[in-house]
């Protein structure tokens, strides 16, 4: 196949807020912009997808029957994939998140018998949580072994997959990426005026508020910073840990300093206004939100765990401490906020790291090369 041949690709993803869906949709858009025909398949239109002539969405209908206690989404997805692959002569089915997407892609290939290649991209909890569960491990291992190619978003995740699921699998690391135009530093600060005054440091956190994100640690880091600076904290997102976070905020008498925004489809506008981004998770497989913050020129404070150290260089573009060490995270961040020159230098280094390593136009060609190899 010649390098300038356009490809016909199916992208399978979850449509909800979260790293895997965001990366899948951004990849689909980037591929379409590069001239390929891309079809996104899911049970709902992804939260930030915009269809165009080369980027199309196909909704999976899941009928409910009294016989089914749980509607069999994987079967409906496989049928839709087979239909789209046949009607549009797809060459690649690219499954983001192993279960059920990769399994459905394999089944669709068996249904059509047309030799469509299957690429599986691992994003994190599909291995560390879902895939490692005894109920799903055999299925996950099977789908990986049968994939024509497997990618992982970090070396950490690749190693975890080999250790826990499939030690014989060959896994290529292709990192997440970000559009440096969309996520960029801003000198115009209209949102900052809403959340903080000119002299007040503004900290931000963005997640699905699940236990792994350690949202209570975010509050404790902020509390430590507040001892030295009249800071403000903006919490973007929602999830099961929000009530506990709100209780802790009341207990620490920080309610007048913390704002919950709920989900924000275009968080770049807020990230670019912050002075630091807090992400003290148990273990990010990559940390897409951290990458988006760095692209906005915002240093990241997080834990030295999972794949985050592959994104955030401690002391250069952010602060990394051991999981749960909120005292040192808060102390070091407080010192940074008190040194305007050091903060400005770290802001510049954050943006530079993205420009040099994680730009969309640097990473997407790696996926194109992978597609051509498996074809």
- Least confident range from 21-35, 188-202, 267-281: namely 188-202
Q: Beta-carbon neighbour count of residue 106 at 10 Å?
A: 20
Is the predicted pLDDT of residue 285 greater than 80, yes or no? yes
Alpha helices in the chain (DSSP H): 19-33, 73-87, 103-112, 125-128, 137-146, 155-164, 190-195, 215-226, 242-251, 268-271, 288-295, 326-337, 340-353, 360-374
Report residue 74 as tokens.
């994987």
Same domain, 261 and 365: no
Report residue 185 as tokens.
């530093």
Terminal CA-to-CA distance of the chain, rounded, Å?
8
> Nearest CA to 96 among 19, 191, 204?
19
Task: For 301-360, write each residue's pLDDT tens digit.
Answer: 999 999 999 999 999 999 999 999 999 999 999 999 999 999 999 999 999 999 999 999
The pLDDT of residue 96: 95
Whether 123 contacts 285, CB under 8 Å: yes
Same domain, 238 and 340: yes
Q: For 179, phi and psi rounded to 5 degrees? A: -80, 110
Rounded CA separation 130/152 (Å) = 15
Inside any domain, residue 185: no
Inside any domain, residue 340: yes
Inside any domain, residue 182: no
The pLDDT of residue 188: 66
Inside any domain, residue 232: yes
Same domain, 196 and 316: yes
Report residue 271 as tokens.
């990230």
Same domain, 168 and 251: no
Whether 204 contacts 232, CB under 8 Å: no
The pLDDT of residue 311: 97
Rounded CA separation 278/206 (Å) = 8
Same domain, 256 and 363: no
| Mean pLDDT (the chain, rounded) | 92
CA dihedral 303, 309, 315, 319 (to 10 degrees): -20
At 279, is the pLDDT very low, low, confident or very high (cuts 50, 70, 90)? very high
Is the predicted pLDDT of residue 3 greater than 50, yes or no? no
The pLDDT of residue 264: 77
Task: For 248-264, write each residue's pLDDT tens digit.
Answer: 999 999 999 999 998 87
Inside any domain, residue 3: no
Same domain, 129 and 268: no
Same domain, 160 and 249: no
Task: For 10-23, write each residue's pLDDT tens digit.
Answer: 999 998 766 788 89
At 224, is the pLDDT very low, low, confident or very high (cuts 50, 70, 90)? very high
Q: Tell me which residue range forms the domain holding 42.
A: 8-177+359-374
The pLDDT of residue 131: 67
At 199, is the pLDDT very low, low, confident or very high (cuts 50, 70, 90)? confident
The residue ranking higher by pLDDT, 65 or 31, is 31
Is the predicted pLDDT of residue 2 greater than 70, yes or no? no
Q: Average pLDDT in the 118-146 region?
A: 85
The pLDDT of residue 230: 96
Q: What percent of the chain has pLDDT over 90?
A: 74
Q: Which residues of 277-302 are buried (b: 16+ CB within 10 A; e: fewer)?
A: bbbbbbbbbbbbbbbbbbbbbbbbbb
Same domain, 149 and 210: no
Whether 91 contacts 9, CB under 8 Å: yes
At 1, is the pLDDT very low, low, confident or very high (cuts 50, 70, 90)? very low
Is the predicted pLDDT of residue 374 greater than 90, yes or no? yes
Q: Average pLDDT in the 145-171 region?
A: 94
Same domain, 346 and 279: yes
Task: For 51-93, write each residue's pLDDT tens digit.
Answer: 778 999 999 999 888 888 888 999 999 999 999 999 999 999 9
The pLDDT of residue 118: 98
Whether 270 contacts 288, CB under 8 Å: no
Same domain, 168 and 235: no
Same domain, 273 and 144: no
Same domain, 259 and 242: yes
CATH of the domain at 92: 3.40.50.2000
Inside any domain, residue 70: yes
Q: Average pLDDT in the 139-156 region?
A: 94
Tally the domains of the chain: 2
Q: Which residues contact 294 (CB under 8 A, 6 or more apart)?
A: 300, 311, 312, 317, 318, 350, 351, 353, 354, 358
Inside any domain, residue 183: no
């Amino acid at each position: 196949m010649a390098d300038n041949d356009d490809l016909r690709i199916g992208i399978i993803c979850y449509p909800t807020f979260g790293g895997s869906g965001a990366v899948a949709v951004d990849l689909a858009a980037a591929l379409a912009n590069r001239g390929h025909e891309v079809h996104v398949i899911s049970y709902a239109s992804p939260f930030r997808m915009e269809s165009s002539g080369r980027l199309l969405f196909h909704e999976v209908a899941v009928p409910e029957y009294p016989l089914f206690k749980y509607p069999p989404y994987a079967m409906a997805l496989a049928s839709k994939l087979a239909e789209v692959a046949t009607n549009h002569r797809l060459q690649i089915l690219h499954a983001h998140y192993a279960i059920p997407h990769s399994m459905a892609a394999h089944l669709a290939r068996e249904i059509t018998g047309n030799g469509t290649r299957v690429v599986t991209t691992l994003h994190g909890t599909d291995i560390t949580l879902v895939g490692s569960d005894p109920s799903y491990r055999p299925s996950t291992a099977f789908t990986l072994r049968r994939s024509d190619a497997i990618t992982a978003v970090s070396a950490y995740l690749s190693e975890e997959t080999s250790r826990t699921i499939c030690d014989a699998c060959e896994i290529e690391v292709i990192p997440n990426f970000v559009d440096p135009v969309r996520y960029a530093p801003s000198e115009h600060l209209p949102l900052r005026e809403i959340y903080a005054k000119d002299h007040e440091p503004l900290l931000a956190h963005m997640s699905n508020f699940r236990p792994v994100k350690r949202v209570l640690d975010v509050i404790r880091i902020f509390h430590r910073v507040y001892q030295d600076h009249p800071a403000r904290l903006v919490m973007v997102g929602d999830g099961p840990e929000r009530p506990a976070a709100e209780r802790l905020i009341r207990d620490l008498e920080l309610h007048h300093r913390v704002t919950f925004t709920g989900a924000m489809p275009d968080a770049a506008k807020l990230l670019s206004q912050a002075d630091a981004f807090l992400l003290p998770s148990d273990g990010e497989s990559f940390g897409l939100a951290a990458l988006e913050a760095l692209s906005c020129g915002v240093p990241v404070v997080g834990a030295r765990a999972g794949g985050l150290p592959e994104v955030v260089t401690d002391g250069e573009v952010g602060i990394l401490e051991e999981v749960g060490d909120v005292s040192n995270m808060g102390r070091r961040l407080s010192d940074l906020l008190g040194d305007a020159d050091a903060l400005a230098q770290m802001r510049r280094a954050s943006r530079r790291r993205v420009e040099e390593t994680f730009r969309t136009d640097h990473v997407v060609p790696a996926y194109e090369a992978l597609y051509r190899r498996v074809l």
